[in-house]
């Protein structure tokens, strides 16, 4: 068979009822216009649209989507016009192709601006037809499958964009088969050492895990057969990127991840799901806090399932997922599983599932800064969700960290603007109270409320609420405060004797707005005009940014071109192993509250008369500083030329108070060549002892190794790095 015959044969195997004549016509059109074009791999360019179309077919998409997949690059990369496309294949196919086509003819100042505008266009097309995004995801998936033929810079750029934008979008649509493959390929390219190390670790105990899973499956089958229900049961492995994220961001070892492998039970009805759950919990002891009912409270992408983690007979935990066949189909293919079309119009019941898309389109209209647009998009896509209830029992889904303001504006704008407080589980709370899963929320309103203030933009966490607050402020002429605030700032700077054009540069203003937790320069001006932010604090911060640049410029002039190349790492007099960017001859000391070591992200704090205090960025004392103190932060970094230095750090150990414990602890430190600088112990209740050991450490990697070794000592219940 030739290439076309093989392609059409493959499509018929996937969907025997497909309109093969329409697809063949589209194939011949794509073949004709892409003739002579080659991919970077050297193969005919036509191979790419063929593979995109096959991915769409495997998702169960209709003929018009598959046709658009075949033709998605013709308008952008060939002489085939949109007008001709519409005449040949109809308006619906033309709309889909146009939605995927990049804005190649326009010129942008930066890659980020181009990316932002491409995504804006795609979102607009998605609002008319979600199949645009599904085609774009299929296009990105095949490009990643063949990404080895790109140069290193392109690989890094595409893979980062995939993890930041496209994989989360696939998750939002519930297309997990696509999401998992996108993430794993991107991880393999961005961090190959971590990827292959993870693959080898997983492989080591693969046979043991499979034996355990098969034993559990046999035991469950015996019990399920007694229920006399129809079911399927399988074991499944967690995909690599998900394991990688847990290990990296939750600081966990592979053996500490409970759902590395899971058992999936698929049944006919919801009633059977809960019956199976009852059987499972009578066979094994469930781990508290590890049960999730996504049937009663589905995820935003319509994912439904019961998840429970239990302790097996061998003492090892494992996860069990229980769902119906329909739920499983949606879990694999998401919105594509039920996206049915009649004359190109989606069923109304599916439209309700895309509220997040409509909200995205609402707030993106008001964001002119590409960086702001991209940052807000990433936050919205990656934000975890919190589920709360109205007093009537309706479930409301919000981004994690949301407040009553977010809840109020999600219900209705009229309720949001009149909000003066809320009751959570029957108790009064302020509007900046953080909501948690399961809270019952009732908004308290007042007809005498003056409405939103600029400070509400700091309190609201959702793009939906912030967008509506901004809209209300503009409607009520509160935007007059923007001009007023800008004028006030210019006058104040001039009174200080500085050139306002130098001090009020965009780079300083945007950085200052971010420091005050405001989204844009306009929000900062408005806040100044409305009295929400003290003018003196803003100017102090702006002057510090300006003076930092002036100091760096002086360093360059004094030390010549060679110093200019290396001024990012100006050394201080003493040997702390930390440099202050752009500043020399400063006293630097490490804070005792968090004891940072190389590998930690650090920040400097300008103290009053005691130089610069270096903290970990996650230090509680840093995170809890009031806004007026945050302007004293300064950028610092580890000096790579001093990698062999040692730093004291505290390790907390909870263990059984037994004879020989200190000897065992000391032996581990000695074996790892780690000096013990101090020990403090305090007996607790029930024969438990709390030990704080001060160790001389060279970096975070050494800390992780010694933590693992200490955890393996008999009687040790927990070991963790101390923060006062």
The listed range with the strongest mean pLDDT (128-137, 510-519, 568-577, 675-684) is: 128-137
Do 102 and 189 share a domain, yes or no? Answer: yes
Do 410 and 331 share a domain, yes or no? Answer: no
Paired tokens of 598:
């190389």
Paired tokens of 655:
């263990």
> What is the domain-level CATH number for residue 129?
1.10.3210.10
Do 598 and 675 share a domain, yes or no? Answer: no
| Number of compact structural domains in the chain | 6
Does 109 score more than 60 pLDDT? no
Residue 588 lies in a domain: yes
For the stretch 195-233, pLDDT in tens is 888 888 877 666 777 777 888 888 899 888 888 889 999
Among 163, 198, 233, the domain-final residue is: 198
CB 612, CB 583: distance < 8 Å: no
Residue 495 makes CB contacts below 8 A (sequence gap 6+) with none
Choose, from 31, 58, 77, 350, the residue flagged as catalytic. 77
Give the other-Cβ count within 10 Å of 187's Cβ: 23
Do 235 and 316 share a domain, yes or no? Answer: yes
What pLDDT is recorded for position 534? 64
User: What is the spatial distance between Cα 708 and Cα 38, in angstroms, rounded to a whole number?
Assistant: 52
Among 298, 315, 336, the domain-final residue is: 336
How many C-alpha atoms does 249 have within 13 Å on its Cβ side? Answer: 6
What pLDDT is recorded for position 720? 80
Comparing 111-115, 163-167, 306-310, the range with the smallest average pLDDT is: 111-115
For the stretch 275-328, pLDDT in tens is 999 999 989 888 877 788 889 888 766 789 999 988 877 777 788 999 999 888
CB 555, CB 570: distance < 8 Å: yes
Residue 363 lies in a domain: no
> What is the domain-level CATH number for residue 257?
3.30.460.10
What pLDDT is recorded for position 157? 87
Confidence of residue 570 (pLDDT cuts 50, 70, 90): very low
Q: List the alpha helices (DSSP H) in 339-403.
A: 348-351, 355-364, 370-382
Paired tokens of 367:
């964001």
Choose, from 76, 293, 375, 442, the residue flagged as catalytic. 76
Cα torsion angle, 347, 350, 355, 357, sign: negative
Does 65 score more than 50 pLDDT? yes
Q: Which domain holds residue 233?
A: 205-336
Residue 596 lies in a domain: yes
Q: Is 43 a catalytic residue?
A: no
For the stretch 684-724, pLDDT in tens is 656 778 888 888 888 888 888 888 888 888 878 778 887 65
Residue 587 lies in a domain: yes
Residue 563 lies in a domain: no
User: What is the spatial distance between Cα 254 and Cα 521, in angstroms, rounded to a whole number?
Assistant: 45
pTM of the model: 0.51
Do 651 and 626 share a domain, yes or no? Answer: no
Residue 415 lies in a domain: yes
Do 288 and 398 share a domain, yes or no? Answer: no
Among 642, 663, 682, the domain-final residue is: 642
In this predicted model, which residue has the larger pLDDT, 241 or 626?
241
Residue 344 lies in a domain: no
> What is the domain-level CATH number for residue 422?
3.10.20.30
Do 633 and 651 share a domain, yes or no? Answer: no
CB 651, CB 693: distance < 8 Å: yes
Do 172 and 316 share a domain, yes or no? Answer: no
Burial class (CB in 10 A: 0-12, 13-18, 19+), 6: exposed
Q: Is 483 a catalytic residue?
A: no
Do 10 and 156 share a domain, yes or no? Answer: yes
Do 276 and 212 share a domain, yes or no? Answer: yes
Residue 495 lies in a domain: yes
Do 438 and 537 share a domain, yes or no? Answer: no
Do 484 and 545 share a domain, yes or no? Answer: yes
Paired tokens of 186:
């991107």
């Amino acid at each position: 068979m030739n290439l076309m015959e093989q392609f059409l044969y493959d499509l018929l195997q996937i969907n025997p009822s497909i309109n093969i004549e329409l697809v063949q016509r589209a194939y011949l059109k794509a073949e004709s216009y892409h003739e002579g074009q080659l991919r970077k791999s050297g193969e005919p360019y036509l191979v790419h649209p063929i593979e995109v179309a096959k991915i769409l077919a495997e998702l169960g998409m209709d003929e018009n989507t598959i046709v658009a997949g075949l033709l998605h690059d013709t308008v952008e990369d060939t002489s085939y016009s949109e007008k001709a496309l519409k005449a040949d294949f109809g308006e619906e196919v033309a709309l889909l192709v146009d939605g995927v086509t990049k804005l190649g003819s326009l010129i942008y100042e930066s890659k980020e601006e181009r990316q932002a505008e491409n995504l804006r266009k795609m979102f607009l097309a998605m609002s008319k037809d979600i199949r645009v995004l599904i085609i774009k995801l299929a296009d990105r998936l095949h490009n990643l499958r063949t990404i080895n033929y790109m140069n290193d810079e392109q690989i890094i750029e595409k893979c980062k964009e995939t993890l930041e934008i496209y994989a989360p979008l696939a998750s939002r649509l519930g297309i997990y088969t696509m999401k998992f493959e996108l993430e794993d390929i991107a991880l393999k390219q961005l961090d190959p050492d971590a990827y292959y190390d993870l693959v080898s670790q997983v492989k080591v105990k693969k046979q043991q895990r499979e034996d355990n899973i098969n034993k559990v499956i046999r035991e469950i089958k015996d019990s399920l057969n007694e229920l006399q229900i129809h079911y399927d049961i399988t074991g499944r492995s967690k995909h690599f990127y998900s394991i990688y994220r847990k290990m990296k961001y939750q600081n966990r070892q592979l053996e500490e991840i409970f759902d590395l492998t899971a058992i999936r039970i698929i049944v006919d009805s919801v009633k059977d799901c809960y019956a199976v759950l009852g059987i499972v919990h009578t066979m094994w002891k469930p781990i508290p806090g590890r049960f999730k009912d996504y049937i009663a409270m589905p995820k935003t992408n319509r994912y439904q399932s019961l998840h429970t983690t239990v302790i097996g007979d061998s003492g090892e935990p494992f996860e069990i997922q229980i769902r119906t066949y329909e739920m499983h189909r949606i879990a694999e293919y998401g919105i594509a599983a039920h996206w049915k079309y009649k004359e190109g119009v989606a069923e109304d019941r599916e439209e309700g599932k895309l509220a997040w898309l409509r909200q995205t389109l609402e707030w993106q209209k008001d964001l002119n800064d590409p960086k702001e647009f991209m940052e807000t998009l990433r936050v919205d896509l990656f934000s975890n969700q919190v589920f709360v209830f109205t007093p009537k029992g309706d479930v409301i889904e919000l981004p994690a960290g949301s407040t009553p303001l977010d809840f109020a504006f999600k219900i209705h704008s009229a309720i949001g603007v009149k909000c003066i407080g809320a009751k959570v589980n029957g108790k009064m709370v302020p509007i900046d109270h953080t909501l948690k899963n399961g809270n019952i929320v009732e908004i308290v309103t007042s007809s005498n409320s003056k409405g939103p203030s600029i400070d509400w933009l700091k309190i609201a966490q959702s793009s939906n609420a912030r967008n509506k607050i901004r809209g209300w402020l503009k409607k009520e002429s509160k935007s007059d405060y923007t001009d007023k605030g800008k004028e006030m700032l210019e006058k104040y700077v001039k009174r200080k004797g500085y050139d306002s054009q130098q001090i009020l540069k965009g780079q300083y203003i945007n950085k200052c707005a971010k420091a005050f937790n405001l989204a844009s320069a306009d929000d900062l001006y408005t806040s100044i005009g409305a009295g929400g932010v003290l003018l003196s604090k803003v100017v102090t911060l702006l002057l510090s940014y300006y003076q930092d640049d002036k100091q760096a410029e002086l360093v360059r002039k004094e030390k010549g071109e060679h110093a200019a190349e290396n001024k990012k790492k100006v050394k201080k007099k003493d040997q702390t192993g930390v440099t202050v960017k752009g500043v020399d001859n400063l006293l630097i000391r490490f804070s005792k509250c968090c004891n940072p070591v190389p590998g930690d992200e650090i920040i400097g704090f300008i103290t009053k008369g005691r130089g610069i205090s270096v903290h970990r960025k996650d230090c509680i004392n840093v995170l809890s500083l009031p806004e007026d103190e945050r302007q004293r932060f300064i950028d610092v970094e580890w000096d790579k030329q001093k990698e062999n230095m040692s730093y004291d750090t505290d390790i907390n150990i909870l263990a059984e108070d037994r004879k020989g414990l200190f000897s065992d602890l000391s032996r581990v430190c000695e074996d790892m060549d780690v000096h013990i600088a101090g020990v403090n112990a305090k007996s607790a209740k029930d024969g438990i002892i709390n030990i704080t050991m001060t160790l001389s450490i060279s970096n975070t990697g050494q800390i992780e190794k010694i933590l693992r070794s200490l955890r393996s000592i008999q009687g040790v219940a927990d070991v963790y790095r101390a923060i006062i």
